[in-house]
Amino acid sequence: MGKEYLGHAIFKSLNEASEFYRCLSDNVMCFVPKWVKAHPIINYDSYFFGSLANSIVSIKAILELGHITDAKALLRNLFDETIVNLYFMARLKKKDDEFINSITDEGPLIQGLQPEKMFDINVSDWLADNKTKSLKKALRYEDMRDFLKREASIAGVVEYLDSSECKDIREWLNDAVHLNYYKAIPLNDGLLCIDSERKSAVDELKHAFDRISMFHATCVFCLEPVYMMSSDYRDHMECGMPPPEGCQYDVAPFVQAYLDKTVYRAFPDWAEKLVESAAPMRLGMVKRVDCCNNS
């Protein structure tokens, strides 16, 4: 692999995204998961984000060898990981909303409520490795997509899953998984592949990766705005000091920095929806004059 190939912009995107997910994994570790039967000691989303970071590192390592078809197959798997993650987050947010709606001036309507009904069965079964029929059906892509489309907090963003661009990306990645075309074979050989074919494929791979990662990051923070919280509040509490007033709404610098150079630039509409959904978190406002087009 020559310097031109290894200097492709995709490697920068992969490095930045893997570091972002690594930091996000650390940031959400202390949040207690709700509405599941078995409470993990560490928030399972922390493991999920860590797994995403590792998957991105794997894609980078495979690309460095010139195995582009394998990298496409791994990206297809990464896409599935992000959808499953968002699906479970949306299910638990629905439980949050149901609980909030049950609260009256006298407190929650808990009289006669059965504890088992407070849990989300599918998320609980998934965490316990219970391969039930209900869970298997729920994890079908079409069912997860339809569930996400009903979630109000990501309205205006989740419709991307029905866009022609997203459908084209999925089909293009599926071509690598199922070897639908002969060109997938030479693309997986760093010695045989023609440079022009390799560059075209990597350009498209970068486009697909950027779209998938930006869509996921936007939806994560729309669904769980608290995940972007800076550590200032926790740091003060751990030191026995009173936190500055309102600091629980401060956004972690790594989150704002990543959004600034990705979502804010490529999808200002998504960014504005994120600022709205994440309130009262103090996200930076979108400056449309600084935003480039979706290229």
Q: Is the pLDDT of residue 106 over 70?
A: no
**For 113-164, what is each residue's pLDDT tens digit?**
555 667 888 888 888 888 888 889 899 999 999 999 999 999 999 999 999 9
Q: What is the DSSP string of 157-219?
A: TGGGGGSHHHHHHHHHHHHHHHT-SGGGTGGG-TTTS-HHHHHHHHHHHHHHHHHHHHHHHHH
Distance between CA 49 and CA 37 in Å, rounded?
Answer: 21
Q: What contacts 77, CB < 8 A, 6 or more positions away?
A: 55
Neighbours of 43 (CB within 10 A): 19
pLDDT of residue 278: 93
Average pLDDT, the chain: 87
pLDDT of residue 100: 73
Distance between CA 208 and CA 204 in Å, rounded?
Answer: 6
Using a cut of 0.95, tell me whether the model's pTM lies above it: no
Burial class (CB in 10 A: 0-12, 13-18, 19+), 8: middle
pLDDT of residue 96: 82
